[in-house]
Structure 1
Amino acid sequence: MTSSRLLAWCLLLGSVACDPARSKSIEPPPTTEQPSHQQWRLVWQDEFEGAPGTPPSPERWNADVGGDGWGNAQYEHNTARTENASLDGEGHLVITARKERYQGNDYTSARLNTRGKFERAYGRFEARLQLPTGKGIWPAFWMLGANFAQVGWPECGEIDIMEHRGQLPAIVRGSLHGPGYSGGENVGGEHVVSGGKLYEGFHLYAVEWDPDRIRWFVDDVMFLEVTPKDLPANRRWVFDHPHFLILNIAVGGNYVGPIDGTTQFPQTMRVDYVRVYARAE
């Protein structure tokens, strides 16, 4: 990949950043239990079974490689090494951010995506995750429109299923980015998770995406719903075509700010599984 193409890839895929002070937050719906799994049929999954130290399935995942800030002033160089993304032999994928000098960056991490391997519009997209912690640590589970190379970002659309600021260990955010409501102007909302800090155990993060709405869940509790009427005036709903999945840990960046002396390394995000469902007929 040429340096110009790599930069374009970084800028396009680094768009998960947002500035909460300028983001449009939707009034959260009443928090309700949503025992809706019987409405779905499984169409794709990765349970991360395999020997310890082996890389994630190359049939399911690509590794983004580079360290130019990813459009968000991030510090890390994302690699394809097993030091940054590997199976633990106990049914988990472990993404690890490390403090180490590598290819001109002071930190390494990993960012995995399913581009060209699994892309889908509509359904339930979920991952069971144990998040990292620390000031400036930025894990995310998100989706990007598969047509981004043709139409660019944010025209392609971006769905942030979960992003988290490590300095706020009980808060997650879900959001949408599209033309006229991207970056710091995204549409979304935050949720305070009850029952302890997110780095202390696994939680289930999901969206249920239909043609006319997207709903966000943590542990099957819905905390956000966005429909076309929630967009800024005269803005288009672009969530009508396949997206691919992304899992990553960023170090620093516009959304989380810098790390400081309290941030410990390595930091890990453990992924128990990723599953995608279609609505049952």
Structure 2
Amino acid sequence: MPFASSMLRHLRRRRLLGAGTAGLIAALATAFGPPPAPAGDQLATEADALDVDAMRLSFDEDFSTLDVSAWGPGTRWIAHTPWSGDFGGARFANPGERSPFRIEDGTLRVEAKRDPEGDWQSGLLASVDPDGNGFSQQYGYFEMRAQLPEGPGVWPAFWLIGKDRSKATAEIDVIEFYGDKPDGYSSVVHVWHRDGRHYSRFHRNAVFVEASPGAFHTYGVKVDRNWIRFYFDREFIWKTETQPEHRQPLYILVNLALVDGPTRDATPDPSYMIVDHVRAYRLD
């Protein structure tokens, strides 16, 4: 029941669920059923081609420096999810003496390691603070260029969240990579309704058969009123219909998490995610 396990991790991550009890994964499988067939597995059309030159750069983080604080305000990034919903098997640490972030040769190194007390810590960046200050954008192309760590337990991600979470949380997981499944990564579109309903479209991108996750690649998504389109190295992969909840400003999150489970015991210590840039473009 891998889909139910993934649902459990997501519910914990959104702070919609606590630590869990016996049989919970089975209950989730019963409640949600099998994973939906990938929406948007349509053949690529001319409209799906990515033309970055026709867009306007609106957010450009090249990591020559890093402007981050624990919670803001006034910094480009904060080191936690704005709703205080940290997740996974590692604590997201604040910048400071034990900072998980380091700038090296114009790239950001995010480090997951055990701290002196023996607990795992790692890093997350979000582009808005708890009051909504910071970068967000309705529609456009969002991209990360990064090297991914391999090995059991590592769980790097690049994702977007809608600013208005009053009735539902709109989420786009551009990339979720599980280090013990190094042949590819997952892209998922979610709507988490406050009344418990959940919309999800999932696609497995088996791109690392010839390419390597440890090399630099770009992971992108283009959002407009009608479609959410996903790209690997700026080549179209798949698309799914834009939901009403995604027609709003979206902000950016980048993190190196650990899966909260037995694989964490075999996670390489330390593990690194290297990010070259994070960018956003306006469609106009």
- TM bracket, shorter-chain basis: 0.7 to 0.9
The alpha carbon displacement at 1:35 in A equals: 4.6
Change (3 A) 1:22 1:250: farther
1:163–1:172 CA contact under 8 A, matched in 2: yes
CA RMSD of aligned residues (A): 3.4
1:273, 1:134 → 2: CA distance?
Answer: 23
Aligned residue runs from structure 1 range 8-19, under 5 A: 11=15
- Superposed displacement of residue 81, structure 1: 2.9
SS at match of 2:15: helix
2:231 corresponds in structure 1 to: 217
Q: Alpha-carbon deviations, 1:204-258, whole Å to 9, x = none? A: 0000000111000010121110115xxxxxxx631111111000011113xxx53
Distance 1:69 1:246, change over 3 A: closer
Counterpart position of 1:92: 107
Q: Which residue of 1 aligns with 2:35?
A: 23
Change (3 A) 1:69 1:145: closer
**Residues 130, 271 of structure 1: 8 Å contact kept:** yes
Query: How many angstroms does 1:100 deviate by?
Result: 2.6
Instruction: Give 2:249's aligned amino acid.
Output: P
Deviation at 1:31, TM superposition (A): 6.4
Q: Structure 1 209/114 Cα, relative in aligned 2: closer, same or farther at 3 Å?
A: same
Alpha-carbon distance in structure 2 between the residues aligned to 1:108 and 1:183 = 32
In structure 1, the residue matched to 2:93 is: 79
Once residues 87 and 176 of structure 1 are traced to their aligned partners in structure 2, the CA distance between those partners, rounded to angstroms, is 31
Superposition deviation, residue 78 in structure 1: 0.7
Q: Give the match's secondary structure for 1:259.
A: helix
Distance in 1, matches of 2:81 and 2:143, equals 24
- Whichever residue aligns with residue 55 of structure 2, its letter is W
| 2:252 is equivalent to residue 240 of structure 1 | no
Question: How far apart are the structure 2 equivalents of 1:180 and 1:146?
Answer: 14
Q: Within 2, Cα distance between the matches of 1:47 and 1:183?
A: 38
The residue that corresponds to 1:207 in the other structure is 221
Deviation (angstroms), 1:272 = 0.4
**Distance apart, 1:179 and its partner CA:** 4.0
Whether 1:45 aligns to 2:53 is: no
Question: Any idea what SS the aligned residue of 1:64 has?
Answer: coil
Give the equivalent residue in structure 2 for 1:4: none
1:232 is aligned to: none
Alignment partners' CA distance in 2, 1:184 and 1:263: 31
State the SS of the aligned residue for 1:112.
strand
Q: Is the 8 A contact 1:22 1:184 kept in 2?
A: no
Shift of 1:109: 0.3
- d(CA) in 2 for partners of 1:61, 1:279: 23
Q: 1:65 and 1:244, CA in 2 relative to 1: closer, same or farther beyond 3 A? A: closer
Q: Distance in 1 between matches of 2:186 and 2:64?
A: 29
Alignment of 1:23-172 (within 5 A): 23-24=35-36, 25-26=38-39, 28-30=41-43, 34-50=49-65, 55-57=66-68, 59-64=75-80, 70=86, 74-81=88-95, 83-88=99-104, 90-102=105-117, 106-115=119-128, 116-148=133-165, 151=166, 155-172=168-185
CA change 1:277–1:252 in 2 (3 A) is same
From the superposition, tell whether residues 183 and 224 of structure 1 become closer, same or farther in structure 2 (CA, over 3 Å).
Answer: farther
Report the CA distance between 1:177 and its aligned residue: 0.9
Which amino acid in the other structure matches residue 26 of structure 1?
A
Q: Percent identity?
A: 25
Q: 1:133 to 1:274 in 2, by over 3 A?
A: same
Unpaired runs of 5+ residues, structure 2, are: 1-11, 19-27, 70-74
20-29 or 239-248, larger mean C-alpha shift: 20-29
* 1:156, distance to aligned residue in structure 2 (A): 2.6
Paired residue total:
245
User: Would you say the 8 A contact 1:65–1:79 is kept in 2?
Assistant: no
C-alpha distance in 1 between matches for 2:188 and 2:13: 21
2:191 and 2:198 in contact (8 A); partners too: no
Comparing both chains, which one has the higher relative contact order based on Cα–Cα distances under 8 Å and sequence gaps of 6 or more? 1
